Amino acid sequence: MDSILVIAEKPSVSQAIAKVLGAYKREDGYMEGNGYIVSWCLGHLAEYAPPDAYGSRYKKWNFNDLPIMPSEWRLDVAEEKKEQFDLLSGLLNRTDVTYAVNACDAGREGELIFMRVYELSGSNVPVKRLWISSMEDTAIEEGFQNLKDGSEYAALYDASVCRAKADWLVGMNATRAFTTKYNHKLTVGRVQTPTLSMLVERQKQIDGFVKSAYYKVRIEGNGISAVSGNFTDKAEADAVARKCDGAVAHVDKVERKKKKSQPPKLYDLTTLQREANRIFGYTAQETLQELQKLYEDKLVTYPRTDSQYVTEDMADTVQELLDGLPDMLPFLKGSMEVVDTGRVINNAKVTDHHAILPTKAALGADLSELTAKQHNIFSLIGQRLAQAVAGESVCEETSVLLKCAGYEFQAKGSRMVVDGYKAVENAFAADVKAGRPAGKTDGEDGKDKNKLPSGIEEDMVIPSVSAKSEQHFTSPPKPYTEDTLLSAMETAGNKEFDAETEKKGLGTPATRASMIEKLVSSGYVVRKGRQIIPTTAGMKLIEILPDYLKSASMTAEWENQLLGIERGEADSTRFMQGITNLISMVLNGCGSIPAEELASYDTREKIGDCPICGKPVYEGKQNFYCSDRSCRFALWKENRYLSGMRKTVDKKMAADLLSKGRTHVKDLYSAKKDTTFEADVLMKMEDGRASFSLYFPKSKSKWKKKK
């Protein structure tokens, strides 16, 4: 009997698909039944091999071996995933399989994950593509009724390959180039480095900021508080305050304006990550992980989207979701008002996936089983839908100009006239405040601010006002949070593009979270509360890198080119040639860095001189190593000879051994006598390796009783 092979990205997704298809029989690594075989990839099973796979000389980092430019790219399967790959390879080559369905996530990375396995397996079975935006049973059923030929996604795969090759080439070559030149591990990345550069630039602005004082005069009377313009001179402000204190003030002008604000759009991934960080303090990676779980549990639609709209055919679904929202999220009862569902519909602004929504399956789900994080994120998505279709918010802003003793003062206030979508925002803010005290929202925007007394009219007189001068200080720029950093990444390079250019910024919605995590794990940035601060290492790295590697506009242009490749509108060969040219620039630039500049970066403490080549020796985590990476010398802290005497080589011992070839040690251990003793440890070099022996000075007492 012929079978259809379905390969998804994760076991949980495969199980959901298998249930819909009727493949209930569990086998080792897959499910089968009803003419279907359903298995999974465990994420990236195969990735581009490291440089040493292209030649043993690449095991050691040497600037003269660069560039590393594979003529034929090798894919390696991770050892821990080899069993599942072998299984998939066997399934793809089964004679009863008529065609395979790529059911990996519907995006660039999902295409890459499947196609790498398919190509490595050597299979020739035809491929069809499942493209869905929800894990609901009905969405899966409709998806299988409308499978596309895999060839229709060739451009998407081409773009994913270009992205992967570009990241490998820039990362491997630039990292090795700068590391070998500066004798310090320096990690460079196509997207990572411009992102770090933005963080460093902001930190430099903060560090270089010099606050300056300025002064205002405040007058108060009849419930009105008004302030003057800025004074740079304190004496002048004090003089104005003295003149006005107890004096008569006149209302010279009153202006009232109605200010309308439109409801927000639906969430794409980046805006949801930003809101979750601002309100709940979640990192972008945390939000994506919880969102992915909600997606796999069929409660929300596909997360990795850059669209904030839905398509016309979803109008009924949107209405059904709106009808059920108050039951799912009780805080919405009494605050929802559906004014215009058409506002969230725009076919032209939906490409691969629509905005993030709750699913119809969520309407009957038991949300009490969700974790706190999942419930918070689900609530965010639900209330955003309610806001997006609500009416506009209208507030009345009042500006009052007062004159006193010949000086002008201004008072401002606002009051809400029509809540509109702000009613939902405020209900959500109250729910967050009641249930999650740590949360912060902007819900107070919907309340009256700087409320002025009613009945203020022109020519009114305030017979006596109190006046005082106030000192203020200018403020430095604020450090980035994940909220503001994601926004900066999304809009990076916009000024350099024409208005009609579809801008993608640094990375994509699906990859920005991982970029931030890479910066943290590399030690280039740290999280301080909700702030993201560059470390000294991050600051120093950006200081030495050339501008073109830090350029946000160049990286954003690459993202635009990748999008063009994805849509069949740009040439992949041209894109890769640009990456090759960049690597040539990197190597030429590194080759011409002055020696004094290279030396100035090294802050490591020199332990001694290498006994083989004479270069400086530095301390590492496990050994004392030669700064010349082509040299074989290493003095291991734990070595076979000394470990038997319960001794490891410390910094002082290493310095003695390198300078004198010997070091005196007082607490060596003898297992035979179960006691400690002292002796000189001698080191000599034999065929490039260090060997050790003991020498007992006659003037020293050899044995000590064990304490």
Strands 36-40 and 3-8: parallel
- DSSP structure string for 683-706: EEEETTEEEEEEE--TTS--EE--
Six-digit token string for 182 = 């500066």
- Long-range pairs, 699-706, Cβ under 8 A, ≥24: 702/677, 702/678, 703/670, 703/673, 703/675, 703/677, 704/675, 704/676, 704/677, 704/678, 705/675, 706/674, 706/675, 706/676
Six-digit token string for 563 = 């999008």
Is 240 in a helix, a strand, or coil?
Answer: helix
CA distances from 403 to 223, 399, 410 (A): 16, 13, 9
Which among 658, 651, 572 is positioned nearest to 614, based on CA atoms? Answer: 658
Residues in a beta bridge with 36: 4, 33
Alpha-carbon span 522 to 530, nearest angstrom: 19
Hey, how many other C-beta atoms are within 10 angstroms of the C-beta on 36? 20
For 175, phi and psi rounded to 5 degrees? -65, -45
The amino acid occupying position 527 is R
Give the length of the chain.
Answer: 707
Which among 477, 481, 586 is positioned nearest to 525, based on CA atoms? Answer: 481
For 140, phi and psi rounded to 5 degrees? -65, -45
Is 250 in a helix, a strand, or coil?
Answer: strand
Alpha-carbon span 7 to 97, nearest angstrom: 12
Q: What is the dihedral of CA 499, 510, 266, 386, to 10 degrees?
A: -170
Six-digit token string for 477 = 């720029």
Whether omega for the bond prior to residue 67 falls within 30 degrees of 0, making it cis, is: yes
Alpha-carbon span 53 to 50, nearest angstrom: 6
- What element of type H or E holds 686? strand 675-686
- Decide if 105 contacts 151 (C-beta within 8 A): no
Alpha-carbon span 705 to 707, nearest angstrom: 6
Alpha-carbon span 221 to 403, nearest angstrom: 13
The amino acid occupying position 484 is T
E-only strand ranges, 496-610:
525-528, 531-534, 608-609
- Decide if 105 contacts 154 (C-beta within 8 A): no
Q: Distance of alpha carbon 496 from its chain centroid, rounded?
A: 23
Sheet arrangement for strand 616-619: 608-609, 616-619, 623-626, 634-636
Alpha-carbon span 303 to 294, nearest angstrom: 9
Instruction: Judge whether 302 counts as a catalytic residue.
Output: yes
- Decide if 272 contacts 512 (C-beta within 8 A): no
For 667, phi and psi rounded to 5 degrees? -125, 50
Alpha-carbon span 100 to 42, nearest angstrom: 17
Task: Indicate which residue of 302, 309, 421, 601 is catalytic.
Answer: 302
Catalytic residues: 302
